[in-house]
Chain A
Amino acid sequence: MTATTLDAPAVDFTRLRRERLAKLRDAMRANELDALALIGQSNVVYATGARAPAADASLAAHQRMVAVVHADDEWPHLYTAFADGVPPELPADHVHDALPVERDAGAGALAAGLPARNVGIDEYTFALYRVLAGREPKDATPALGAAKVVKTPDEVELIRAAERINEQAMLDVESLLVPGVRATELSGRFLRRIYELGATANTVDPIFQLMPASIDAGPFTLTGDLVFPTVTRDQRFEQGHVIWVDTGINFHGYASDFGRTWIVGNEPDARQRAQFERWREVIDRVAASIRPGATAADLVQSAGEVYGRRPWPSHLYLGHGIGTDSAEMPLVGTDLGPAFDASLTLAPGMIVVLEPIAWEDGYGGYRAEEIVVVTDDGCEFLTRHHYWPFT
């Protein structure tokens, strides 16, 4: 196997960063914010385009980058320990040493640079919470959400490219899926291939979930519904096992999301093929309902019922957005409820990852994911992967 990076997508990174920042400023104005203090890493990436090494949550928190965006300053301020992750066009007087916001000194330094009022913050370390307690910063989430939810063409291309790496890596993993293979070997091969193909990072422990035939035969849940996802463990897969796959990578700050159903060593039987067809009908119905002006409620309604139930687990969703986070707005069909769904209107440039299931309790089911981008008159699929071994 020759290791080669996939061809670079046609992305102008300077334009990408400029356009994101312009959207963020518009959202700041709309939310009456003079400054944003950002410590969540996906938000810092969005505001600055800077890169930090991918890491487990606690290490990521301890080495986190910090961004401050002032409404009246052309450039964001970036605080980072990673000089080789700083975008080239960011002026030197806007690039600073890392701010240790886990501690009072760093939190105090961040607070000292913020205006007295109209500051939005995404989240706090406890030290930041203590330092800012008297100032009642506003929640930055609405402004961030408003900026992020509609993607620029460059953002769409990066998500497409992330998904392409993810899919290409899966072709190789599929060839390993024979009776006796261990789940963690599949993960290992997947991870190897994404790095070889040019991934920036992996973002989620690859999921290869052995599916039971019925909810009762699977793990306990508080909801009484299907469990998904469960964490991949060191187990062997055997002939006929049905595996639900779910993976996601990072490419220049943007997430992919890959979902398919595999069968170990067997062709699907007639019942399994029927499940797949039911799943595909849901995708077709929902995709046909996606256009500018459609609401999340319209998507939920078009999904309908499959095998007498709503075609997704009660604690999850029919679909979710994707960007610098692996799941973000628009969320479709969550327990935020029908009124929330009705309030969420699709616009060109929004992305929805559709992940319905066709679950026939007692006989298992089919699950896969399709990333679609809302276009001027409908939607386009960014996912291009086959449905092996079903097609």
Chain B
Amino acid sequence: MPAFDPEHLQRCLDEMKRRDVDVLVLGREANARYLSGATRLWLAGTRPFGPGCVVVRDRATVHLLSTTDDLVPLSREQLFPMSWNPATIAGALAAIPGVADARRVGVDGMTPLFAQLLRGLLPEAVLVDGEDLLASVRRVKSAADVGAIRAAIGVAEEALRVALSALVPGVRERDLVGAYVEATGGLGVTTPEFDAVFHVVDDDVAGNFATERVVRDGDLVVASVGVLSHGWVGRLARTWPCGKPTKAHRAAVVEWRALRNPLLEQLRPGTTVAELRTQHSAVRGVGTGDELLDDDQVLEPGMVLAARFGHEGVAGEDTFLVTESGATMLTTFPYMPA
């Protein structure tokens, strides 16, 4: 069940104070999830900016655009209703206590229409970067946050185990996606962080999508999966053989690990994200959604990172918690079949 986390709000209020921001008007679902604890209907893809969640600093309140309190752990006074009419939504926004007096307003996106409505509503207010503010708030995780991410990873790993048991000669890449999503549903989770990808390692294929391709005995398949479980991301990737494990697969994984492991030694406070990024690696933050990390971001204890490493078609991704002295791997999935 969703829960409101007062620590999240406090971190946000502290950062608003530091940046002299009076009100946040947030459209991005990951920000709304983090602040409200609400589960709203999951939709794939980007959506245009709208005032989905509002934070008023001097009243320490969170307000959410939701017609119902179902799966919304806030009081009814903290809800404002949806409308198809942008002017009506702008009116509801203005009616939130404390909004009309705001001098500096953080927003995490904008549309031409809303820019016009906000200028009419708050002609004197200065708009500042609310996405950057929330990114800095969300970057460092509490123990409870890490527990939620571990639970999400557990779902992704169990579903991946089921999907890989379907990796037999003759199966199509897209059937493996099907096996994976059915397994997450069986575990009570029906929202992905991204559409799972199962693709045969092939020099000629970029491999961003699962296709109709039939997997053959001895093929290596890269499996990339991610769930959004109770609002938290759990993701990982592995390269797995179809059919009996072969010496070739074992050798490829051994080589992959030998090349990847030096990266792990750099996972500690003080390292910059740029130092983790090579032509073979990708690094991102993980939380109530994907987190962009700039190259000059310095690792701090409490950050949770997903690091993907790929070499000659073999790819793997793990999730790590940065600790005081290094990092703890949160993913537990094996790298090759038992």
Please state if A53 and B174 are interface contacts (CB–CB under 8 Å).
no
Nearest CB of chain B from residue A358's CB, rounded to whole Å: 21
- Chain B residues with CB below 8 A from A129, complex form: 107, 109-110, 115, 127
Q: Given A55-B194, A102-B292, is A231 in contact with B39 using a C-beta cutoff of 8 Å?
A: yes
Q: Which A residues from 217 to 266 make CB contacts under 8 A with B?
A: 219-223, 227, 229-234, 250
Determine which residue in A123, A184, A201, A337 has the highest number of CB atoms from chain B within 10 A of its CB, and name it.
Answer: A123
Nearest CB of chain B from residue A165's CB, rounded to whole Å: 12
- In Å, the complex CA distance between A93 and B127 comes to 37
- In Å, the complex CA distance between A141 and B115 comes to 14
Q: Given A57-B29, A195-B181, is A51 in contact with B48 using a C-beta cutoff of 8 Å?
A: no
Please state if A3 and B109 are interface contacts (CB–CB under 8 Å).
no
Please state if B111 and A139 are interface contacts (CB–CB under 8 Å).
yes
Please state if B110 and A191 are interface contacts (CB–CB under 8 Å).
no
The interface bits of chain B over 275-291 (1 if a CB of A lies within 8 angstroms of the residue's CB, else 0) are 00000000010000111
Q: How many residues of B contact A (CB 8 A)?
A: 78
Closest to A191 in B: B181
Looking at A37-45, A296-304, A346-354, the stretch in contact with chain B turns out to be A37-45
- In Å, the complex CA distance between A3 and B166 comes to 13
- Chain A residues with CB below 8 A from B184, complex form: 188
Q: Is B241 an interface residue (CB 8 A)?
A: no
Please state if B84 and A84 are interface contacts (CB–CB under 8 Å).
no
Q: Is B130 an interface residue (CB 8 A)?
A: yes
- In Å, the complex CA distance between A347 and B147 comes to 54
- Chain A residues with CB below 8 A from B194, complex form: 53-56, 59
Determine which residue in B41, B112, B284 has the highest number of CB atoms from chain A within 10 A of its CB, and name it.
Answer: B112
Q: Is B258 an interface residue (CB 8 A)?
A: no
Q: Which A residues from 105 to 144 make CB contacts under 8 A with B?
A: 121-127, 129-130, 137-141
Please state if A57 and B69 are interface contacts (CB–CB under 8 Å).
no
Please state if A141 and B43 are interface contacts (CB–CB under 8 Å).
no
Q: Is B70 an interface residue (CB 8 A)?
A: yes
Please state if A85 and B81 are interface contacts (CB–CB under 8 Å).
no
Q: Is B144 an interface residue (CB 8 A)?
A: no
Closest to A64 in B: B46
Q: Which A residues from 279 to 312 make CB contacts under 8 A with B?
A: none
The interface bits of chain B over 93-109 (1 if a CB of A lies within 8 angstroms of the residue's CB, else 0) are 00000000000000111
Nearest CB of chain A from residue B235's CB, rounded to whole Å: 9
- Chain B residues with CB below 8 A from A189, complex form: 182, 185
Q: Is A270 an interface residue (CB 8 A)?
A: no
Closest to B83 in A: A335
- In Å, the complex CA distance between A386 and B75 comes to 41
Q: Is A375 an interface residue (CB 8 A)?
A: no
Looking at A9-17, A69-77, A150-158, A203-211, the stretch in contact with chain B turns out to be A203-211
Closest to B290 in A: A59
Please state if A58 and B190 are interface contacts (CB–CB under 8 Å).
no
Nearest CB of chain A from residue B77's CB, rounded to whole Å: 10
Please state if B45 and A192 are interface contacts (CB–CB under 8 Å).
no
- In Å, the complex CA distance between A202 and B83 comes to 25
Please state if A229 and B205 are interface contacts (CB–CB under 8 Å).
no
Q: Is A60 an interface residue (CB 8 A)?
A: yes
Q: Given A58-B28, A122-B111, is A222 in contact with B46 using a C-beta cutoff of 8 Å?
A: no
The interface bits of chain B over 130-145 (1 if a CB of A lies within 8 angstroms of the residue's CB, else 0) are 1110000000000000
Q: How many A-B residue pairs have CB under 8 A?
A: 238
Q: Which B residues from 32 to 91 make CB contacts under 8 A with A?
A: 39-49, 67-71, 76, 79-85, 88
Please state if B29 and A331 are interface contacts (CB–CB under 8 Å).
no
Q: Given A102-B292, A121-B112, A231-B70, is A195 in contact with B178 using a C-beta cutoff of 8 Å?
A: yes
- In Å, the complex CA distance between A335 and B185 comes to 35
- In Å, the complex CA distance between A174 and B331 comes to 36
Please state if A123 and B110 are interface contacts (CB–CB under 8 Å).
yes
Q: Is B251 an interface residue (CB 8 A)?
A: no
- In Å, the complex CA distance between A55 and B47 comes to 12
Closest to A186 in B: B185
Determine which residue in A58, A140, A189, A206 has the highest number of CB atoms from chain B within 10 A of its CB, and name it.
Answer: A58
Q: Is A61 an interface residue (CB 8 A)?
A: yes
Please state if B43 and A204 are interface contacts (CB–CB under 8 Å).
yes
- In Å, the complex CA distance between A52 and B166 comes to 26
Nearest CB of chain A from residue B129's CB, rounded to whole Å: 5
Determine which residue in A103, A222, A315, A337 has the highest number of CB atoms from chain B within 10 A of its CB, and name it.
Answer: A222
Q: Which of A186, A202, A207 contacts B44 (CB 8 A)?
A: A202
Determine which residue in B28, B70, B113 has the highest number of CB atoms from chain A within 10 A of its CB, and name it.
Answer: B70
Please state if A202 and B47 are interface contacts (CB–CB under 8 Å).
no
- In Å, the complex CA distance between A306 and B195 comes to 41
- Chain A residues with CB below 8 A from B70, complex form: 219-220, 227, 230-231
Q: Is B15 an interface residue (CB 8 A)?
A: no
Please state if A222 and B112 are interface contacts (CB–CB under 8 Å).
no
Please state if A56 and B208 are interface contacts (CB–CB under 8 Å).
no
- In Å, the complex CA distance between A206 and B182 comes to 12
Q: Is B172 an interface residue (CB 8 A)?
A: yes
Q: Is A196 an interface residue (CB 8 A)?
A: yes
Q: Which of B182, B188, B210 contacts A182 (CB 8 A)?
A: B188
Nearest CB of chain B from residue A80's CB, rounded to whole Å: 10
Nearest CB of chain A from residue B224's CB, rounded to whole Å: 9
Please state if A62 and B84 are interface contacts (CB–CB under 8 Å).
no
Please state if A230 and B206 are interface contacts (CB–CB under 8 Å).
no
Q: Is B302 an interface residue (CB 8 A)?
A: no
Nearest CB of chain A from residue B111's CB, rounded to whole Å: 5
Q: Given A58-B28, A193-B178, is A185 in contact with B46 using a C-beta cutoff of 8 Å?
A: no
Q: Is B164 an interface residue (CB 8 A)?
A: no
Given contacts A102-B292, A129-B107, 13 further A-B contacts (CB under 8 A): A3-B175, A5-B174, A58-B291, A123-B49, A123-B111, A124-B110, A137-B112, A192-B185, A220-B76, A221-B67, A230-B68, A230-B70, A336-B85
**4 nearest CB pairs, A to B:** A188-B185, A58-B289, A234-B188, A192-B182
A sample of 25 inter-chain contacts (CB < 8 A) reads A40-B47, A53-B209, A55-B193, A57-B47, A59-B289, A60-B46, A62-B292, A123-B112, A124-B111, A124-B112, A129-B107, A138-B112, A140-B112, A182-B188, A184-B188, A192-B178, A195-B181, A202-B195, A204-B43, A204-B44, A222-B67, A222-B79, A230-B68, A230-B70, A231-B71
